[in-house]
Structure 1
Amino acid sequence: INPKSTLSGAKPVLKPTTLWYLPMGRHEEWLKDYIENGMLNGKAHHDAKAWKSHVVGQCKSWIDGGLQSRAMTRDLKWGVPVPVEGADGKVLYVWLDAPVGYITATMEWAEKNGQDWRDWWQNEDTELLHFIGKDNIVFHCIIFPILLKQHGDFILPHHVPANEFMNLEGDKISTSRNWAVWVSEFLENNPSGSDPMRYVLTSIMPEQRDSEFTWSDYRDRINNELADVLGNFVNRVLVLTRKYYEGVVPVAPEEAVLTDVDKSLIKVLEGAGERIGDLILRHRYREAQLEAMNVARRGNKYLTEEEPWKLQKTDPERVRTIMHLACQVVGNLGIVLEPFLPRTAEKISISFGVNESSWKDVSSTLINDGTLLGDLPILFTKIDEETVKAEKAKLGNNGGDSGVSEKHTIMIQKDLTTFDNFSAMDLRVATVTECVAVKKTKKLLELTVDTGLDIRTVVSGIAEHFTPEDVIGRKVVLLANLEPRKIKGVESWGMVLMASTNDGGLRFITPEEGVTPGDVIQ
């Protein structure tokens, strides 16, 4: 393969060295039982069925393929020196010393706070959880457990709810390319934006598969869900309670006057704490937040359909029942939304007098009769299209403050070619009119492109970076006279040219405005 340095072009030199290895193969049997069945030392350790399929699957792939001994030292000048005789110039492999750092950090915290670190790492009543990305699963589920078990007396991970990857506007997040949203900068420009951002990120959390953050989706979720549903409902309840009862929660209705709709709403409130809490404990945060927002949706629907503003003059007692239950819904939202929208939940709780309540208090009788409601500002401001455009414009530019300095690696120049070789290539501008995934593959997309000369099919290996929706409508640079060939049963007539970034990403080479399909690149 003729490897070369991307900086100097120099070829690697083979040198003899001594390394220390972790014999992982000796631990296959108990690791298999631990991962697949949740068993450890013949006893039930954790619920294996609660672990995500991609976590178990990645570990099984390693174990079923036969665990190989893995070098735990490196010949580097930086890192933690290997503390054994004859290991001069050696440092520890990062996935040997990094997890041990968790224990060290606990020791430091415990010492400062008068605690015993052993209560956290050597106590069977303690559960160890690792919240990580999918690229670090095996280190926390195989290597670290081996180290802990071999040392003895340490607890092993009870759950590793690892997430998949989140992309940004059709591309991988990259700090070196400033293809990122900088939290400090975002909050500086949006002081009240932490709750909305938390909400959107939880809504698209890549719990089971890769997901994507887009500013358009951010706008839509805030406008359509937070502002139009939650914010609108809370505001209407507060305004109507002040209008009809001078801001005092009306007396609870008698059981005999409750309608089936009322009872259905009460049932939602009575089970909300258990439903949402159970999902949180099972690390299904997207579903938990959705369930919490469904309480707001149910309350909003109830108020809209019951129309108390139309009944106040003709049936004030019915309105009293409606408004009492509506107030109870809002009060409960102040509790069940706290894990997802902490600042918003706090405002609601204080206004509706439930700020001293806890999760166990969630019910249809949470708020006492006669409670005087406090002031509450508009909870959410809608996002306009200009804001979306402004945020998208920051991506890839130098305006973002990364807080780090990353050197861009430039690939070395290839060998010289002739002008005739270049002239032989027919490079044209084309527009992608259709795009679908190639069946039974993960990397290929089938593009239908308009070259100005004809409509043709091109197969491109970009599916791990772009969805079909990302590609349709784009102007691309096409090598039009590449000899056609069949790829996974699809005949490809050309090649779309891409820019390959130093972090493994792909970017389209986008022609300027005014360029049309068929225009020749020369």
Structure 2
Amino acid sequence: VKEIAYGQDGDFSWERFEERYNVDLANNLGNLVSRVAAMVDRYQNGQLTPVASASEPIQEVTKTSVAQYVAAMDRYALHEGAAALYRIVDATNEYIAATEPWTLARDEANRSRLNDVLYRAAEAVRIVGALLLPIMPQSAGEILRRMGEWRDPTSVTLANATEWVTDRDRRIIKSHALWPRLEESTAATAKERKSGPMTNDPSKPADARPTEPPSPAPAPTVASDTRLSIDEFLKVELRTAKVLGAERVPNSRKLVKLEVDVGTERRTIVAGIAEAYEPEALVGKSVVIVANLKPAKLMGVESNGMLLAASADGGKPMLLQIDGDAAPGTRVR
């Protein structure tokens, strides 16, 4: 819906579908729902109490985005409406990165502040669920349930569910991932199920295929454009991280083992930068990492991510660093 203007022609492919599913649903909205529920479950035993502190910018961003959503839907610009609700998603991710609930949770004196931060994040996600109801009714209803919506989804309307409400007790429900990532093999199977041949002849098996003529000789190879589309680039999740500790990997001349804060968790990352940096000089630096790589073992140490660095051919690596006070876990775009 977000990709194609309502009433106009648009291109569709399963590859494009998989990209949008992973980028918008699995990595973005689905991950946000899971993060909020997991933090409330971990730090508040699933229970939030009314907010005691003054309003914060996340509330105004949500209000503005709701107004943009309504204006777009009133003129049947469904793609603009979907984009408006995703502005709330992005703002909530940024709010969490800026307020660092995991840091607040370490000090009992911050308990009230922690409750308020998590309540605001949950309320923003609840409103996203309400806005999503006309587009994805079943999934939106599940978001509402997890974020403590007290009404049945069938009675939720744009008028009664998009007001900012933080003055009542709320139970947040942690559950399974709403949209698990589509890996290549899973996606291929789904496409085969949807595009496989059909037959009405009971004498033929369902997977019977008509005999095809021999394929023509392949055309001469033409150099292809190897540049990435924006959607392909967005599959790579770049985030800021703060180095908390660093040490050389035993028996390795190049590898350094780093402990980094990525916002929602601490990770171990192994990087080949020992020839350019002393471990103690790395502590405290804000760096950029690839956050959604699968784990890999280097010299027996499991690495969960990759540091970004520049280097000339044969030269020493130079880490990409962040100026200013970007919170760990901030998305790099």
Q: When the two structures are superposed, what TM-score results if normalisation uses the length of structure 2?
A: 0.54
Aligned to 1:249: 48
Aligned to 1:493: none
3-state SS of the aligned residue for 2:170? coil
Q: Please, which of 165, 178, 184 is the counterpart of residue 385 of structure 1?
A: 184
Q: Please, which of 88, 105, 126 is the counterpart of residue 331 of structure 1?
A: 126
Aligned to 2:138: 343
Q: Is the 8 A contact 1:347 1:376 kept in 2?
A: no
Listed as ranges, the matches of 1:350-365 within 5 Å are: 350-351=145-146, 352-356=148-152, 357-363=156-162, 365=164
Q: Is the 8 A contact 1:353 1:367 kept in 2?
A: no
Distance 2:84 2:200 in 1: 37
Listed as ranges, the matches of 1:126-137 within 5 Å are: none
Aligned to 1:292: 85
Counterpart AA for 1:432 = V
Distance 1:281 1:242 in 2: 38
- Which of these two proteins has the greater Rg computed from alpha carbons? 1
1:36-75 residue CA offsets vs partner (Å, 9 max, x unmatched): xxxxxxxxxxxxxxxxxxxxxxxxxxxxxxxxxxxxxxxx
Distance 1:322 1:293 in 2: 20
3-state SS of the aligned residue for 2:133? coil
Aligned to 1:71: none
1:455-486 residue CA offsets vs partner (Å, 9 max, x unmatched): xxxxxxxxxxxxxxxxxxxxxxxxxxxxxxxx
3-state SS of the aligned residue for 2:11? strand
Q: Measured at CA, do residues 389 and 274 of structure 1 come closer, stay the same or move farther in structure 2, by a change above 3 Å?
A: same
Listed as ranges, the matches of 1:478-493 within 5 Å are: none
Q: Measured at CA, do residues 285 and 243 of structure 1 come closer, stay the same or move farther in structure 2, by a change above 3 Å?
A: same
Q: Measured at CA, do residues 285 and 428 of structure 1 come closer, stay the same or move farther in structure 2, by a change above 3 Å?
A: closer
Distance 2:124 2:21 in 1: 21
Deviation of 1:253 after TM superposition, in Å, equals: 2.6
Aligned to 2:221: 431
Q: Is the 8 A contact 1:204 1:213 kept in 2?
A: no
Q: Measured at CA, do residues 301 and 403 of structure 1 come closer, stay the same or move farther in structure 2, by a change above 3 Å?
A: farther
Listed as ranges, the matches of 1:149-164 within 5 Å are: none
1:259-287 residue CA offsets vs partner (Å, 9 max, x unmatched): xxx2x211022233332122111011111
Aligned to 1:317: 112
Q: How many residue pairs were aligned?
A: 204
Deviation of 1:395 after TM superposition, in Å, equals: 8.2
Distance 1:431 1:393 in 2: 27
Counterpart AA for 1:383 = L
Tell me whether 1:232 sits opposite 2:27 in the alignment: no
Distance 1:363 1:203 in 2: 20
Counterpart AA for 2:149 = G
Distance 2:221 2:193 in 1: 26
Listed as ranges, the matches of 1:162-173 within 5 Å are: none
Q: Identity across aligned pairs (percent)?
A: 20
3-state SS of the aligned residue for 1:330? helix
For structure 1, the 5+ residue unaligned runs are 1-201, 405-426, 436-522
Deviation of 1:394 after TM superposition, in Å, equals: 6.7
For structure 2, the 5+ residue unaligned runs are 202-216, 226-333
Q: Please, which of 286, 303, 306 is the counterpart of residue 99 of structure 2?
A: 306
Listed as ranges, the matches of 1:390-469 within 5 Å are: 390-391=189-190, 399-401=196-198, 429-433=219-223
Distance 2:128 2:189 in 1: 33
Counterpart AA for 1:235 = S
Q: Please, which of 63, 66, 78 is the counterpart of residue 270 of structure 1?
A: 63
Deviation of 1:363 after TM superposition, in Å, equals: 4.5
Q: Measured at CA, do residues 244 and 342 of structure 1 come closer, stay the same or move farther in structure 2, by a change above 3 Å?
A: same
Distance 1:347 1:395 in 2: 26
